[in-house]
Amino acid sequence: MEEKYLIAQIKDMLPPDSNISDYLFEGANVVIYTRNTQFFREGGNDIRRIVNTIKKRVELRVDPSLLLDAETAEERIRSIVPKEADIGDIWFDEKRSIIIIEAMKPGVVIGKNGETIRKIREDTLWVPKVQRSPAIKSDLVRNIRKTLYAHSDYRRKFLHNIGERIYSGWERNNKYWIRLSCLGGFREVGRSCLFLQTTESKVMLDCGVNVASKLYAYPYLEAPEFNIKDLDAVIISHAHLDHGGFLPYLYKYGYKGPTYCTAPTRDVMTLLHLDYIDVAQKEGSKGIYDSRDVKKWIKHSVCLDYGEVTDVTPDVRLTLHNAGHVLGSSAIHLNIGDGYHNILYTADHKFSRTKLLEPIESQFTRVETLITESTYGARDDIQPTREECEEQLLSIISDTTKTGGKTLIPVLGVGRAQEIMLVVEDAVRMGLIPDIPIYVDGMVWDITAIHTTYPEFMNRSVRKLIFHRDHNPFLAPCFKKVGSQKERVQIMESDDPCLILATSGMLTGGPSVEYLRNLAEDRKNSLVFVSYQAEGSLGSSIQKGSEYVHIERYRGGREQVYIKLGVHTISGFSGHSDRNQIINFVRMIKPKPRRVIVNHGESSKCLELASRIHKLFRVETSAPRDLDVLRIR
């Protein structure tokens, strides 16, 4: 539907005294600003009637000039809402007449049948939105929200421009086509980037870096079909750097359009961006972008919940679904050309329930083309069961503790770290392992804080613990935060056994390398890999049995270190589906896709898995290379 028809239709349906000052888009949604405060309070039925007719989300707000001033509004809210809600920050998005109320207990702010929140709306004329405060204080989450609401005027215009593009009109004629360019992450793991074009739109799916490779670090944005100026939208599947690490670079070089993802992806990815800049600086390189570019992307972020359908261009409709990989990770579903073709790009996925997440969604209305990862897609990539893995981990920790050693688990920071925390917390509570300190270093802690902000993205059991039994496992007393090099030295110099969770997961930098340097030459200690070790990383060479390695010192310089500590790999904690889970996913996905494209795996795995899927399910399959272009329709 084109913009002018849409607005005309809405105008027709509004009562004559509605006194509308502005019709604006917020992405695919329409926002109407009224100067009639009585209509704002009582016009609910009129708005519902419009929504039912035009099938678009429409929201009614009061013209910003008539709002109660921020200070008085805040006073009112604090007096209306019961104390037990534990209200934290209140943010004012002034140009959009929205107020964001942060509370430890969002349900109390909403009230029975929404009574409390309705009263706030009617008393202050602001449109209240409620958000959960992080149970662990997080400066990062605070800064992200500050960045979003400090640019209220800019955001209002930006979201309106997206809407104008979406409703700019298009026509599906017999010249309509869809093609996909593979710009990174094909027959390799790292720098995932897919570029989708139709006769009408240009959309990018993921924009990652390969942190383990200097030579092949960035996606092929120099491909002739790609021009940053023409890009309509970016969609990011999840927070890991190999899927979103290159995003700020787009904004540095002039991209001004939206990036769609879930709220936890936005928060965690921002943290990883800032850390990536930090690591580059410590290594003495300039980095490919700086924190200003990270801010720019936050200003252009548009967050979606799982299952929320939104148009991103005139002919591309997006829905994000749970992918079971890390908090907020999404399988990206695209309905292209008004049902002409449907693509599901799973990105990284797990087709099995974990301690933290539900398995990837497998039931859809339509899917013709499936794009799946194959990190563990080889015939012998069969992971042991979760129970076996948990047992193995707990016995390594117990044995190491008995001999007085320390156990180091390098973690990605997001995903595996929290999974391991849940396993260990459970074990401590049940008395299955000795009650030793569990050190959670720097960034893992910050990411855990973000986890406490979004329990609704976790699986049913964790939600139940947090909501009904008021027991947040991430806040258990066995976890000790490590924030400085001084504390690190104290831990390493102490003779007492302990467990250490530290980034980075592949020992490519960060505190895990520092711990390893100190723990490596003592046979009593243990090193446990629980996540994927990319070719070329320090983790990979130790995993393959290197007797000594060269490690960067914290204060510069390199040191030769002998690997004498016990090295263990537990593959079953992976946030990726193993071979059987990938194949089962392709078997179970409804409806059955006509074509399967395999990416995100070493070359041999992509090829072999593609041929296996073809034999098993008699569908067209392929394992394209980077820079290949596929015609989808």
Identify which of 213, 211, 205, 212 has the alpha carbon closest to the alpha carbon of residue 238.
205
CA distance linking residue 261 with residue 259, whole number of Å: 7
Give the phi and the psi of residue 425 in degrees, each rounded to 5. Answer: -60, -45
348 part of the interface to Zn ion, by CB under 5 A: yes
**Of 348 and 441, which has the nearer Cβ to Zn ion?**
348
Tally of CB atoms within 10 A around 215: 6
**Of 241 and 516, which has the nearer Cβ to Zn ion?**
241
**Of 26 and 348, which has the nearer Cβ to Zn ion?**
348
Residue ranges of E strands in 314-437: 316-322, 330-336, 341-345, 369-373, 406-410
Quote the least distance from Cβ 212 to Zn ion, whole Å: 13
**Of 237 and 342, which has the nearer Cβ to Zn ion?**
237
Candidates 45-53, 345-353, 438-446, 624-632: pick the segment binding Zn ion (CB under 5 A): 345-353
CA distance linking residue 416 with residue 409, whole number of Å: 10
**Of 149 and 532, which has the nearer Cβ to Zn ion?**
532
Candidates 114-122, 341-349, 472-480, 510-518: pick the segment binding Zn ion (CB under 5 A): 341-349
Number of residues that bind Zn ion (CB under 5 A): 2
Lookup: tokens for 558: 């390199």
**Of 189 and 336, which has the nearer Cβ to Zn ion?**
189
Quote the least distance from Cβ 245 to Zn ion, whole Å: 11
327 close to 356: Cβ distance less than 8 angstroms:
yes
CA distance linking residue 288 with residue 217, whole number of Å: 11
Candidates 31-39, 348-356, 442-450, 530-538: pick the segment binding Zn ion (CB under 5 A): 348-356
Q: Is the peptide bond before 624 cis (omega within 30 degrees of 0)?
A: no
Quote the least distance from Cβ 242 to Zn ion, whole Å: 6
CA distance linking residue 482 with residue 468, whole number of Å: 30
CA distance linking residue 348 with residue 360, whole number of Å: 10
CA distance linking residue 572 with residue 312, whole number of Å: 37
Quote the least distance from Cβ 372 to Zn ion, whole Å: 13
Quote the least distance from Cβ 457 to Zn ion, whole Å: 15
Contacts of 493 (CB under 8 A, 6+ apart): none
Quote the least distance from Cβ 544 to Zn ion, whole Å: 22
DSSP β-bridge partners for residue 313: 316
Site string for Zn ion, 231-250 (x = CB under 5 A): ---------x----------
CA distance linking residue 329 with residue 236, whole number of Å: 9
Quote the least distance from Cβ 353 to Zn ion, whole Å: 18
Give the phi and the psi of residue 73 in degrees, each rounded to 5. Answer: -60, -45
Query: Taking the CA atoms of the chain, what radius of gyration do you get in angstroms?
Result: 25
Tally of CB atoms within 10 A around 4: 10
Go through the chain and tell me how many residues it has: 633
191 part of the interface to Zn ion, by CB under 5 A: no
228 close to 206: Cβ distance less than 8 angstroms:
no
Quote the least distance from Cβ 324 to Zn ion, whole Å: 11
**Of 213 and 546, which has the nearer Cβ to Zn ion?**
213
**Of 166 and 205, which has the nearer Cβ to Zn ion?**
205
Quote the least distance from Cβ 600 to Zn ion, whole Å: 9
Quote the least distance from Cβ 261 to Zn ion, whole Å: 13
Candidates 6-14, 67-75, 295-303, 344-352: pick the segment binding Zn ion (CB under 5 A): 344-352
Quote the least distance from Cβ 507 to Zn ion, whole Å: 17
Give the phi and the psi of residue 68 in degrees, each rounded to 5. Answer: -65, 140
Candidates 51-59, 330-338, 346-354, 475-483: pick the segment binding Zn ion (CB under 5 A): 346-354
446 part of the interface to Zn ion, by CB under 5 A: no
Quote the least distance from Cβ 416 to Zn ion, whole Å: 10
**Of 156 and 240, which has the nearer Cβ to Zn ion?**
240
**Of 348 and 578, which has the nearer Cβ to Zn ion?**
348
**Of 232 and 419, which has the nearer Cβ to Zn ion?**
419
Contacts of 140 (CB under 8 A, 6+ apart): 267, 270, 271, 274, 446, 449, 450
Lookup: tokens for 258: 């939206």
**Of 257 and 505, which has the nearer Cβ to Zn ion?**
505
Candidates 82-90, 340-348, 483-491, 551-559: pick the segment binding Zn ion (CB under 5 A): 340-348
Q: Give residue for tokens 């999840």.
A: 238
Quote the least distance from Cβ 502 to Zn ion, whole Å: 19
**Of 362 and 531, which has the nearer Cβ to Zn ion?**
531
Give the phi and the psi of residue 81 in degrees, each rounded to 5. Answer: -80, 130
Query: In 478-597, where does DSSP find H-type helix?
Result: 485-493, 511-519, 538-543, 579-588
Sign, CA torsion 170/172/177/183: positive
The site for Zn ion (CB under 5 A) is made up of 240, 348
